[in-house]
Amino acid sequence: LATGSAILGVFCALDLAVLAAAWIAALVPIERLIARKGGALDPLLRRTCRIFLLGGTAPLALAIGAMAALAARRGAALPFDIEEIARAGVPEAWQSPLFALVGIAVLMRMAAVPFHGWLPVLLERGPLGVTVLLAEMQVGVCVLLRVGAALLPAGCAEGMPILAVLGLVSALHGAVLALVQTDLRRMLGYLVASQKGLVLLGLASLSRESVSGALLQSVASSIALTGLAMVIGALEARAGTADTRALGGLVARTPRMAAFFFLLACAAIGMPGALSFVSEDLLLHGILHVHPVLSVLALTAAALNGITLFRAFQRAFLGPLRRHLQGASVEALLFRERAFLLATV
């Protein structure tokens, strides 16, 4: 609840001090919950949480403090007010370094290269019900557009091409590494990073279609990937593992779970009939007009994500039932699990 309220605060804030406070408040409860539930037994998880918290907050706080100080020097009555800062303007000489700070915070939050290492670790080792909150990408999108693009236009013009390249590298890097994973949770971490990279590429292209597609994709992808995380969590709770090498043939024992995994996989990769089909179409068309070569590579990343998910479905649910699962009691989805997954579908 605290994290959800803080995320809404980021969306609604018209004051940069409130925005920074909400940005930090959205991270601290997650970090504390992860550290409390898993960090005591896993030093790597605890260290990753601290790096994520510091790297995701310090650059944005520095950038906002500097913008407020510059606005006050230019006579702004309310130096943290977004409209006052836009009216006063940020000196052009300061815009590139300030945009770089905002960009670092956004890259860290969106698990983009070279700040991507924390997400697969947290999704693999942390409590899934908590770490799945990190799959959302709308907060990073909001800050990049509201602070970076709106208040620092000169820095945005210089920095967005760099973010576009980093977004593409993140999309391809995540897609390739997800393809070779055997643990479903770690696979999900790289898939989330790949999807976030595609969204970042769409935002950085700055065309109307690509930005609209990126905004829609950030919502559609987050919903589908959250549903997949819940299916993986339910599967792990029943089978005792999320490693596909120890799974197989579960469609006969848990047909509804298999159906939800398949439908959510289709939604995550943009199959016709899904919301992400529209968002990916807008996204790729917009990128094509601005960066034709990058659009082909982005399409490659999306295709690899589809191969990853359908291969994971085949390994986990199809084929003969594994011997160690034949005598095990693999229960069907509970009513509350079915209700939640039905809402995500």
Q: What is the pLDDT along the chain (345 residues), one digit of tens a residue?
A: 777 788 888 888 888 888 888 888 877 777 777 766 655 556 777 777 777 777 778 888 899 999 988 888 887 778 888 888 888 888 888 999 999 999 998 898 888 888 887 888 888 877 777 777 776 778 888 889 888 888 888 999 889 999 999 999 999 999 999 999 989 999 998 999 999 999 999 998 888 899 999 999 988 888 898 899 889 988 888 888 888 888 888 888 888 888 999 999 999 888 888 888 899 999 999 998 888 899 899 999 999 999 999 999 999 888 887 776 665 566 777 778 788 888 887
Question: 152 φ, ψ to 5°?
Answer: -130, 65
Q: What number of other Cβ atoms are within 10 A of residue 112's Cβ?
A: 29
Return the percent helix, strand and coil in the chain, to nearest 5.
Answer: 80, 0, 20
Say which residue the tokens 């007010």 belong to. Answer: 81
Question: 111 φ, ψ to 5°?
Answer: 55, 45
CA-wise closest residue to 325 among 247, 209, 232 = 247
Give the model's pLDDT for residue 330: 67
Question: 256 φ, ψ to 5°?
Answer: -70, -40
- CB 191 within 8 Å of CB 268: yes
Q: What number of other Cβ atoms are within 10 A of residue 169's Cβ?
A: 19
- Coil vs helix vs strand at 334: coil
Q: What number of other Cβ atoms are within 10 A of residue 181's Cβ?
A: 20
DSSP state of 181: -
Distance in angstroms (rounded) separating the CA atoms of residues 218 and 195: 8
CA-wise closest residue to 139 among 36, 20, 43, 247 = 20
What is the reported pTM?
0.88
- CB 73 within 8 Å of CB 88: no
What are the domain boundaries of the chain?
A: 2-344
Taken as a whole, the chain contains a residue count of 345
CA 224 to chain centre: 11
Say which residue the tokens 């909400």 belong to. Answer: 22
243 has which bridge partners?
A: 183
Say which residue the tokens 């790597």 belong to. Answer: 44
